[in-house]
Amino acid sequence: MTDPSHAPPSTSRPSLIYLTVRSLSRLIFRTIYRCKTIDKGLVPHTGPLLVAANHQSYIDPPLVGGMSDREMHFVARSGLFSFGPFGWLIRQLNSVPLKEESGDLGAIKEIVRRLEMGNAVVIFPEGSRCPDGAMHEFKRGVALLVKRAKCPVVPAAVEGCFDAWPRGGLPRIFGKRIAVKYGRPIPYEELMQHGADAALERLANEIDRMRLELRAMLRKDTNDRFPPRGPGDGPRIKDSESASSPDAGGSPTAT
């Protein structure tokens, strides 16, 4: 397998469908949710890249991917691809199907293949949308992906998305604010120098730190009205289910 760190810059151009959906997403986020985008210039324009973010809502993939000027690839639950036109659409938006029941080695191979082509891939290491607005423990299977990817990782954080579209609820379009922040790319060697566990801990800490910064910013902008007080005010929650080994650690990236 080719080392993705030596992959050439991607020469592909975003499709018309991708560009249209990205433009519509930006318009919706900015007009309805008054979205703020922080430090998108930190995202490298070329070369293989993983973008790892916390996961609060269905809003997150188009927010993290769409507010960046770089074309992104995504990971989505395999079941979403069975819904006819919607399945076709998310394939056109560079999505990779991922089985949730266990570590999906086929999906990981496909992600690595896309990285070898010089693409950027968005992942959500919590594995699924959070139930309460707080950030939860990362799935240990992310370590396997990072090991095989051998490329820089950009930590990213979203905030406000849980309250704008909570898990199990409907979108809320009045009085909500959302924000996304991108961090400095972390070279593969730097991230993995102390092993997989330390790499996941560093990513989790940086993402949650940025998330809390965004939360404070949104509160300041709304005179402390939004987001409402709740579990999201605290540091990430460590789940007992995340104790599995890196090679058997569940699906790390499904939305």
Residue 254 in this model has a pLDDT that exceeds 90: no
Residue 90 in this model has a pLDDT that exceeds 60: yes
Q: What is the pLDDT of residue 8?
A: 60
Percent above pLDDT 70 for the chain:
87
Residues 166-225: pLDDT tens digits? 999 999 988 899 999 999 999 999 999 999 999 999 999 999 999 999 999 999 999 999
Cα-based distances in Å from 99 to 102, 104, 197, 217: 7, 6, 23, 36
How would residue 11 be classed by pLDDT, with cut points 50, 70 and 90?
low
Lowest mean pLDDT: which of 45-59, 69-83, 158-172, 179-193? 69-83
How would residue 112 be classed by pLDDT, with cut points 50, 70 and 90?
very high
Residue 54 in this model has a pLDDT that exceeds 50: yes
Residue at token pair 């609820």 = 169
Residue 7 in this model has a pLDDT that exceeds 70: no
**What's the average model confidence in pLDDT over 18-33?**
97
Distance CA 146, CA 253 (A): 12
Contacts of residue 137, defined as CB under 8 A and 6 or more positions apart, other chains included, come to 126, 204, 236, 237, 238, 239, 241, 242
Distance CA 184, CA 202 (A): 13
Q: Tell me which of 239 and 134 has the higher pLDDT.
A: 134
Q: What is the pLDDT of residue 246?
A: 39
The amino acid sitting at 159 is E
Q: What is the pLDDT of residue 141?
A: 85
Distance CA 177, CA 217 (A): 11
Q: What is the pLDDT of residue 243?
A: 39
**What's the average model confidence in pLDDT over 38-54?**
98
Residue 1 in this model has a pLDDT that exceeds 70: no
How would residue 250 be classed by pLDDT, with cut points 50, 70 and 90?
low
How would residue 101 be classed by pLDDT, with cut points 50, 70 and 90?
low
The overall longest dimension of the chain from CA atoms, in Å, is 53
Residue 91 in this model has a pLDDT that exceeds 80: yes
Would you report the helix, strand and coil content of the chain in percent, each value rounded to 5?
45, 15, 45
The gap from C-alpha 54 to its chain's centroid, in whole angstroms, comes to: 6
The gap from C-alpha 142 to its chain's centroid, in whole angstroms, comes to: 12
Q: Structural domains in the chain?
A: 14-248 (3.40.1130.10)
Mean pLDDT for the chain overall: 90
Q: 103-133 in b/e burial notation, b at 16+ Cβ within 10 A?
A: bbeebbebbbebbbbbbbbbbbbbbbbbeeb
* Nearest CA-CA partner of 208 in 226, 235, 181: 235
Percent above pLDDT 90 for the chain:
75
Residue 79 in this model has a pLDDT that exceeds 90: no
